[in-house]
Amino acid sequence: MISDFELALQELLEGEKPLNYRLLSMLSCPSREETVAFAAFWETIDGQRRQELITRMVELAEERFELDFVDLFRYCLSDTDPVVRRQAIEGLWEAEGGDLATALIKMVSADPDEGVRAAAASALGRFLFMAECEELHERYAQMIREALEQIIANANEPVEVVRRAVESIAFINDDRVRRIIADAYAHSDPRMRLSAVFAMGRSAEQVWAENILGELENQEADMRYEAARASGELQLKRAVPQLIKLVQGADREVQSVSIWALGQIGGKQARKALEQMVEQGDDEQSAAASEALQEMELLEQPLDLFLYEPEAAEWEEVGLEEDEDDEDEDEDDLDEWQDEFLDLD
């Protein structure tokens, strides 16, 4: 009996079927054998159809969390068409693993297409973040760092590639990376300066606060946008008055990111401004402000404390002692104790 995956490939070969959810969802979560069948199918269709197909798959994967084309996107990383390779990198934005990191390192270092190298440089930032969180082996982080630093130091590398490398390496907090960000900020190309401000926010270091606050007054909307985002990432309370002014400006994208930043920063002034936007703003502002307030509530809540039955030694570690007389405490009493404990803060 023919599988849904094989049926989808047959329909796609006809070349006239619309690339809708029904058809492409049949390609989700392929088995190893189905991935091999996809590779054979992929070689039979022309370049234009490949571009259309992978672009639509990436769009659907972003819209529908239940769809999984990761194995197919991995295969497409080696396609001869740079558009397909760029889309494959985009589609793998949530994928993990040292093998993917290694593939991206090769692409950022050696791919002949500037756009592909830039996309790979951007994607590698996520792996550096994973390494900083100890979710990826340090040896991969070192390999990524070396590859990005080589890109940044290469005077012949296009600005678009270098700026994405600067953005990604910003997850590392040390003097060498701070110098990279400072050099990018002093660069003559405005695109590099934009990436420098982006990197300042991503670095989570307050050392950049004055630079970011200054750029909130920049005449260029794209720089104000990056400065507003960086203000939110660094939770710069001094940025709140200026962010409120930016919400009143004409640029919709700057308005949106400024509202988001207010939600990240929090505090009474930001809360009051967001509440006013919910009540008095237009539909778009009101919805964005409501979402920012929800995010603010989440960020301001203390960490939840979950009750469990630890060993006595674990109680001792936090300065508490397990009382054997309370072992038979009924559920209502336990709930009451939990409420009192959570209110101690």
Q: Flag whether pLDDT at 331 surpasses 50.
A: no
Q: Flag whether pLDDT at 337 surpasses 90.
A: no
The least confident of 15-29, 147-161, 260-274 is 15-29
pLDDT band of 335, cuts 50, 70, 90: very low
List pLDDT tens digits, range 158-204: 999 999 999 999 999 999 999 999 999 999 999 999 999 999 999 99
Q: Flag whether pLDDT at 261 surpasses 80.
A: yes
The least confident of 72-86, 257-271, 289-303 is 289-303
> Given this model, what pLDDT does residue 306 score?
42
Q: Flag whether pLDDT at 242 surpasses 50.
A: yes
Q: Flag whether pLDDT at 322 surpasses 50.
A: no
> Given this model, what pLDDT does residue 1 score?
74
> Given this model, what pLDDT does residue 307 score?
41
Residue 250 CA, distance from chain mean position: 27
Average pLDDT value for the chain = 88
List pLDDT tens digits, range 36-90: 999 999 999 999 999 999 999 999 999 999 999 999 999 999 999 999 999 999 9
pLDDT band of 300, cuts 50, 70, 90: confident
List pLDDT tens digits, range 195-240: 999 999 999 999 999 999 999 999 999 999 999 999 999 999 999 9
Q: Flag whether pLDDT at 340 surpasses 80.
A: no
pLDDT band of 315, cuts 50, 70, 90: very low
Q: Which residues contact 199 (CB under 8 A, 6 or more apart)?
A: 166, 167, 169, 170, 181, 184
pLDDT band of 303, cuts 50, 70, 90: low
Q: Which residues contact 89 (CB under 8 A, 6 or more apart)?
A: 77, 104, 107, 116, 119, 120, 123
Q: Flag whether pLDDT at 323 surpasses 70.
A: no
Give the other-Cβ count within 10 Å of 317's Cβ.
9
Q: How far apart are CA 310 and CA 128, in angstroms?
A: 35
Give the other-Cβ count within 10 Å of 165's Cβ.
32
pLDDT band of 304, cuts 50, 70, 90: low
pLDDT band of 28, cuts 50, 70, 90: very high
List pLDDT tens digits, range 113-137: 999 999 999 999 999 999 988 898 8
Question: Are the beta carbons of 196 and 227 closer than 8 angstroms?
Answer: no
By percentage, how much of the chain surpasses pLDDT 90?
A: 80
